[in-house]
Structure 1
Amino acid sequence: MSIAQTIQDAWNKQSKWLIVLRPLSWLYQFGFSVNKLLFKKGFKNVYTAPIPVMIIGNITVGGSGKTPLLIQLVKYLQANQVRVGVISRGYGGNGPFPAFVTLDSVPDTVGDEPCLIVQSTDVPMVVGSNRQESIELLLKQHELDLIISDDGLQHWALDRQIEWIVLDNNRGLGNQKLLPEGYLREPVSRLAQGTVIEHAHAPKSALNMHLEVAEPYLLNPFFDQSETFDPKQDYYAVVGIGFPKRFYTTLESMGVDQFQCHEFPDHYDYEIDDLQFEDTNPIITTEKDAVKLLPLLKKHPNFNREIWVVPVEAVLSDECYQVLNQQLTQLGIDLIQGY
């Protein structure tokens, strides 16, 4: 097991030995605070885009439900004739950057989450670590009303008019310590500075979301697609996401209670050997993993193990849409019908 995976497991378990990393957390906080201050005082340049920018991010490392939320918001804005584009760092992609993400893009080039976003929405999207270059390339070819930044909450070089912070109460804030003692990118006090969307099935806040599961589908391109999903089958749960426990809870809610967990690091680059097991039991995985597994299956047409994908959709409270409409109206962006 890698050091990164060991630390991630310790975060999820809130292991007491993490206290030995506290000096590194102090160093991280010092560096982070100085960098933020340099931008705030004007010693470092902040780019302000010619149109409003909305950032959807979190203060934690790992999955929070941010990508399904972004996809749902893009669909909502498109339905209301708001011309929206998306930028992202393209984590896991090798570039060259900045790069447009298309329906034909592959994760090795632009990253797995950008592929999933565009496949789900067909939204204009550019990825790259330099957000200014990404926005300029996006606006060079598209006339837009709003840009949504996938993550980038801590990217102070980019000015923003709206910040939505996803707080996953299923995972919580762990030991509430900054990296690497805990999995917080910023102190808890940061939540007071943005619009917090609570991700929970039993939320306490009116601004909340949860993930709703749709019917699993067979990923294998060369298999009979009419085959139906059997929740009573034994599965290998193969996941490379930030918070695998959420996926296991989803499986149990679907009646899938016979599965062996096989976890990989977030944004993991799969090889065909990662999918080989002693028996012929099927694999079950997430949509984020599926965008990386599908090109692999196409390269290995003789791979004969079923891979089932569990799609999820973010369901937002009415209050989320009301707040979004108010925020956009204040920026001069009118929706044709509202919510």
Structure 2
Amino acid sequence: MSIAQLIQDAWNKQAKWLIVLRPLAWLYRGGFLLNKKLYQMGIKSSYQAAVPVMVIGNITVGGSGKTPLLIQLVSYLQNKNIRVGVISRGYGGKGPFPAYVDLESVPDVVGDEPCLIVQSTCVPMVVGSNRQQSIEYLLSKHDLDVIISDDGLQHLALQRQIEWIVLDQNRGLGNQKLLPEGYLREPVSRLNTGTVIEHAASPKTALNMHLEVDTPYLLNAMEAKTFNPTNNFYAVVGIGFPQRFYKTLDSIGIHQFQCHEFPDHYDYEITDLQFEDTNPIITTEKDAVKILPLLKQNPDFRREIWVVPVEAVLSPQCYEVLHQQLQQVGIQIS
């Protein structure tokens, strides 16, 4: 087990030994607050785009459900004839950046989540660590009404008009400590400064979302087959919070599976998908984006790989707030 995986496991279990990392958390907090102060004082400058920017992010490390939420919002705006574009850091991609993402893009170059977003929505999208360059490149190719930033909540160099913070109640805030003692990127008080979207099956707030699961489909469809949840599966997953995926499997009647976890944004090799028996693999859509190129490179691979599709379902109040916030920046949704 790598150090990163060891710490991730400790975060999820709220292990007591994490207290030894508190001095590093103090350093992280000091650096974060100093950086914020430099922007507030104008010593560091921030970029204001020519169109309104909406940031969708979280204050935790690892998955919170923001990518399905972003996909749902993009689809909604497209259906309302709002010209929307997306930028992202392109984590896991090797560039060169800024890079335009289209249906031919591959995760090795632009990252796995951007590929999934574009494959799901065909939205104009550019990735790169320099958000200003990404936005200007995107606007040079498209006339847009609004740009959504996939993550970037802590990227103070980018001015934004709307902030949505996804809070996964299934995972919560852990020990509520900053990195690396806990998995918070910012103090809990940050939740008071943005629009918090509660990700929960049984939400306690009006602004909430949950993931609706559809029937798994074969990634390598060699022949028409009906999904059988009673099979013994290998659950192959490389996401920030794999426990959510395991609960999803349980919710759709899949109870027999062996967990094979990899780091978030993991670069799969074909050997990661090879086991001694012929039992099928089941995985997420995000992982499938990374696995599909391997299957094309290895046409003799015959093990079934099933993908569990999910869709974010937002409460009506989320759309009401969205309409209000966009109207405040001059975008009217009919």
Q: TM-score, normalised by structure 1?
A: 0.98
> What is the CA-CA distance between 1:65 and the residue it aligns to?
0.1
Corresponding residue number in structure 2 for 1:273? 271
Q: Secondary structure at the match of 1:167?
A: strand
Q: Distance in 2 between matches of 1:38 and 1:228?
A: 58
Corresponding residue number in structure 1 for 2:71? 71
Q: Distance in 2 between matches of 1:93 and 1:36?
A: 28
Q: Which runs of 4+ in 1 moved over 6 A?
A: none
Deviations 1:71-113 (A, max 9, x none): 0000000000000000000000000000100001000000000
Q: Secondary structure at the match of 1:291?
A: helix
Are 2:136 and 1:136 equivalent residues in the alignment?
yes
> What is the CA-CA distance between 1:215 and the residue it aligns to?
1.2
Q: Secondary structure at the match of 1:54?
A: strand
Q: How does 1:1-339 map to 2 (within 5 A)?
A: 1-220=1-220, 223-224=222-223, 226-336=224-334
Deviations 1:204-230 (A, max 9, x none): 000000000011110015x11x21110
Q: Secondary structure at the match of 1:325?
A: helix
Say what the alpha-carbon RMSD is for the aligned residues: 0.5
Count of residue pairs the alignment pairs up: 334
> Aligned partner of 2:5: which letter?
Q
Percent of pairs with identical residues: 77
> Aligned partner of 2:176: which letter?
Q
Q: Distance in 1 between matches of 2:37 and 2:134?
A: 24
Q: Secondary structure at the match of 1:73?
A: helix
Deviations 1:104-163 (A, max 9, x none): 100000000000000000000000000000000000010000000000000000000000
Q: Distance in 2 between matches of 1:237 and 1:141?
A: 40
Q: Distance in 1 between matches of 2:314 and 2:135?
A: 27
Q: Distance in 1 between matches of 2:220 and 2:141?
A: 35
> Aligned partner of 1:89: which letter?
R
> Aligned partner of 1:310: which letter?
V
Unaligned runs of 5+ in 1: none
Q: TM-score, normalised by structure 2?
A: 1.00
Q: Distance in 2 between matches of 1:215 and 1:143?
A: 37
Q: Distance in 2 between matches of 1:75 and 1:304?
A: 34
Q: Secondary structure at the match of 1:163?
A: strand
> Aligned partner of 2:308: which letter?
V
> What is the CA-CA distance between 1:187 and the residue it aligns to?
0.3
> Aligned partner of 2:49: which letter?
A
